[in-house]
Chain A
Amino acid sequence: MGNTAAVVAPSPGGARRFLKRLQDGDEIAHMLTLIFAASVLLIAVLLVYELWIHSSESRQRFGFNFFFTQTWDPNSGQFGALPYIYGTIVTSVLALLISVPLGVGAAIFLAELAPARVSNMLTFLVELLAAVPSVIYGLLAIFSLVPLLRTYIEPGLKATLGFLPMFQGPIYGIGFLAAGLILAIMTFPFIISISREALLEVPREQREAALALGATKWESTWQVVVPYAKLGIMGSIFLALARALGETMAVTMVIGNDPRIKASLFAPGYTIAAVIANEFSEAVNGLHQSALIELGLVLFLLTMILNAGARLLIIATTKKGSSRE
């Protein structure tokens, strides 16, 4: 829209115009709204600054060893983040392995097959899933998913795929697999909603050309439409990954809170967000707090990089700006 206010030329006419605008109140309104808009920048800068300052004790004490050691013992002042980083990566990757095929599949159905009305309705229902608070996902996971895993799914996996190290070991129900599954459910609404949008942006002619050349519906979809929307779909996956990495409550409730690195998906683990949630309010000594805040900083940087990438990819495909959540 109009950005005439920015054009205050140093000519005499410009000065007079500026005075006129000041009398109208336009300059005042401009400055006032600018201050409020700039507060967003201020919050962001302050956030980075506070995380950086409050994690300094831990950063200076441990340096890069923080990321490569496994001992986490508040009593002796030893803090190594490797088990948390490992748990965060394993659960997030597991979540994406499930939610990407499922989400992209559903997005293809909603964009290519379903009539517009049905598609809009179903997409609204999927987007409602994204509005469900994460503590409620956690509640459901504790009392329905975990017993289901313990009695049926994990014994089943052990019996059929037990030769793989990831499906061995004692079965608890809680652990990496439970966290990965609940994260899968929490991330696919984002993948569906944004991928569908990207697929709908593909020009009609692309489909028609492929079909006219004799391609089947699937061939036209998979070899022409999906590659055309590739960037948007990748953006949605980045965004989903960022959500999965930072998700706290649902994971904290089912991961088992055990900071050890195990190959088995049945084993209890721990994630960065979960350890912050569990220990922060009780961390009494400064070093412990500082180490937890450094974990927060790591989480912040990881999700920022993913989000920045995702936004650029989504802007590039939909050309609508980054207004979509």
Chain B
Amino acid sequence: MNRTARRKLISNIMMALTGVCTFLTVSTLFLILGYLLWNGGTSVDWNFFTKLPKSPGETGGGMANAIVGSAQIIGLAALIGVPIGFIGGVYLAEFGGKTMSFLVRYTADLLNGVPSIVIGIFAWTVVVVPMKSFSALAGALSLAVMLIPIGLRSTEQFMLSVPLPLREGALALGASKWKTIATVVVPAAIRGILTGMILGVARIAGETAPLLFTALNNQYWSAGFNQPVATLPVMIYYRAISPYEDWHRQAWAAGLVLLAMVLVANIAARLILSRGAGAQRG
């Protein structure tokens, strides 16, 4: 075999191998989905959504309290995190001076990279220690801390993508800066900002580690935001590592429900964005 032929052969083999890498990585997603559907599909029933958990070893029961608990915690986290992220993002996109913007932006990115378990410790020190009790509030705060940098950066990104002439038009008509932002820039970017927030909430919805020692867990309905509360991800964790067959079945069901919610949010966000881009171009 001559040199050129050999080089061509090597090239073809290596390029084919990169295809194999792609196949292996993409197929992981379908393996995960298929396996979860296979194992959890039959266990997602009416009981799962309406019944309280049974005591260890007993068959039956559901995760109604964990579903409500997750909704409580995520709702409160969004209530804290979305406004802070949004308004902070407006600052970065519209008002920020060079140094301050860089500092906030870089810190937000670093905060985004902090392991979630460390965020959990933080929430424990600022809420659980002074209140002397594990609570839904502590769990919600830890998730809000994770949501803020995501909301901030996506708000900034989508506001910056609003064309400059739009702002100039409003300013030229005599509108003040904040009026321009409130009536022109934000409405133009709102679709993107909402999408970013949806993605952020989907990301915190699956977080488990920071809830382990903030929201803790609960076999019953939560009595209030100052009490421990059950959540879906934490429930999956304890069910999965338990020795009971029926609890494993419930872990699969809960995993399927959680993953379905996260994936639907992600795909919906993607669709909203691509349609928005199409409309702007057209």
* A interface list, Cβ under 8 A from B: 1-3, 5-6, 21, 24-26, 28-30, 32-34, 36-41, 43-44, 46-47, 50-51, 53-54, 101-103, 105-106, 108-110, 112-114, 122, 124-126, 128-129, 131-136, 138-140, 142-144, 185, 188-189, 192, 216-219, 221-222, 239, 242, 245-249, 253, 273, 276-277, 280-281, 292-293, 296, 299-300, 303-304, 306-308, 311, 321-323, 325
In the bound complex, CA of A219 to CA of B126 (Å) = 55
B240 touches A253 (CB 8 A): yes
Residue of B nearest to A32 (CB): B87
B91 touches A36 (CB 8 A): yes
A-B residue pairs in contact (CB < 8 Å), sample of 29: A1-B160, A24-B177, A24-B178, A33-B87, A36-B91, A37-B96, A40-B111, A106-B25, A109-B18, A125-B29, A126-B26, A131-B199, A135-B236, A135-B237, A140-B36, A144-B35, A188-B25, A216-B11, A218-B14, A249-B209, A249-B233, A253-B241, A280-B120, A280-B121, A300-B118, A303-B118, A307-B113, A321-B105, A322-B109
User: Which of B110, B113, B178, B270 neighbours the largest number of chain A CB atoms within 10 Å of its CB?
Assistant: B113
B15 touches A323 (CB 8 A): no
8 Å CB contact of B107 from A40, A108, A249: A40
**Least Cβ–Cβ distance between A252 and chain B, in angstroms:** 8
In the bound complex, CA of A325 to CA of B113 (Å) = 9
Query: Which residues of chain A come closer than 8 Å to B41, judged between CB atoms?
Result: none
B114 touches A304 (CB 8 A): yes
8 Å CB contact of B115 from A6, A37, A239, A303: A303
A131 touches B263 (CB 8 A): yes
Count A-B pairs with CB separation below 8 Å. Answer: 290
Q: Given A30-B95, A33-B88, A131-B262, 12 more contacts at CB 8 Å? A: A1-B94, A6-B97, A32-B87, A51-B118, A108-B21, A135-B233, A221-B15, A249-B233, A277-B212, A281-B212, A299-B115, A300-B114
In the bound complex, CA of A222 to CA of B17 (Å) = 13
A142 touches B241 (CB 8 A): yes
**Least Cβ–Cβ distance between A98 and chain B, in angstroms:** 10
In the bound complex, CA of A54 to CA of B124 (Å) = 11
A276 touches B11 (CB 8 A): no
In the bound complex, CA of A77 to CA of B17 (Å) = 53
B117 touches A325 (CB 8 A): no
In the bound complex, CA of A142 to CA of B18 (Å) = 29
Query: Which residues of chain A come closer than 8 Å to B19, judged between CB atoms?
Result: 109, 113
Query: Which residues of chain B come closer than 8 Å to A325, judged between CB atoms?
Result: 112, 150
Q: How many residues of B contact A (CB 8 A)?
A: 102
B266 touches A139 (CB 8 A): no
B94 touches A248 (CB 8 A): no
**Least Cβ–Cβ distance between B55 and chain A, in angstroms:** 20
B110 touches A299 (CB 8 A): no
Q: Is the interface of B mostly helix, strand, loop or mixed?
A: helix
A222 touches B149 (CB 8 A): no
Query: Which residues of chain B come closer than 8 Å to A43, judged between CB atoms?
Result: 111, 145, 148
Query: Which residues of chain B come closer than 8 Å to A303, judged between CB atoms?
Result: 113-115, 118
Stretch from B45-53, B59-67, B187-195, B200-208 that touches the partner: B200-208
A133 touches B207 (CB 8 A): yes
8 Å CB contact of A248 from B100, B114, B115: B115
A25 touches B176 (CB 8 A): yes
Query: Which residues of chain A come closer than 8 Å to B95, judged between CB atoms?
Result: 3, 5, 29-30, 33-34
User: Which of B88, B93, B270 neighbours the largest number of chain A CB atoms within 10 Å of its CB?
Assistant: B88
* B interface list, Cβ under 8 A from A: 7-8, 10-12, 14-15, 17-22, 24-26, 28-29, 32, 35-36, 39, 83-84, 87-98, 100, 103-122, 124-126, 134, 145, 148-150, 152-153, 156-157, 160, 176-179, 181, 199, 202-203, 205-209, 212-213, 216, 233, 236-237, 240-241, 248, 251-252, 255, 258-259, 262-263, 266-267, 270
Query: Which residues of chain A come closer than 8 Å to B24, judged between CB atoms?
Result: 102, 106
Query: Which residues of chain A come closer than 8 Å to B21, judged between CB atoms?
Result: 101-103, 105-106, 108-109
A143 touches B29 (CB 8 A): no
Residue of B nearest to A44 (CB): B107
B39 touches A143 (CB 8 A): yes
8 Å CB contact of B15 from A38, A136, A218, A281: A218
Query: Which residues of chain B come closer than 8 Å to A44, judged between CB atoms?
Result: 107, 110-111
In the bound complex, CA of A126 to CA of B89 (Å) = 28
In the bound complex, CA of A217 to CA of B21 (Å) = 17
**Least Cβ–Cβ distance between B110 and chain A, in angstroms:** 5
Residue of B nearest to A41 (CB): B107
In the bound complex, CA of A26 to CA of B267 (Å) = 38
B208 touches A280 (CB 8 A): no
**Least Cβ–Cβ distance between B121 and chain A, in angstroms:** 5
**Least Cβ–Cβ distance between B36 and chain A, in angstroms:** 7
In the bound complex, CA of A106 to CA of B15 (Å) = 10
In the bound complex, CA of A24 to CA of B182 (Å) = 13
A47 touches B202 (CB 8 A): no
In the bound complex, CA of A32 to CA of B8 (Å) = 62
In the bound complex, CA of A189 to CA of B11 (Å) = 25
B121 touches A40 (CB 8 A): no
In the bound complex, CA of A127 to CA of B237 (Å) = 24
B98 touches A47 (CB 8 A): no
Query: Which residues of chain B come closer than 8 Å to A34, judged between CB atoms?
Result: 91, 95, 100
In the bound complex, CA of A282 to CA of B38 (Å) = 35
8 Å CB contact of B212 from A30, A133, A280: A280
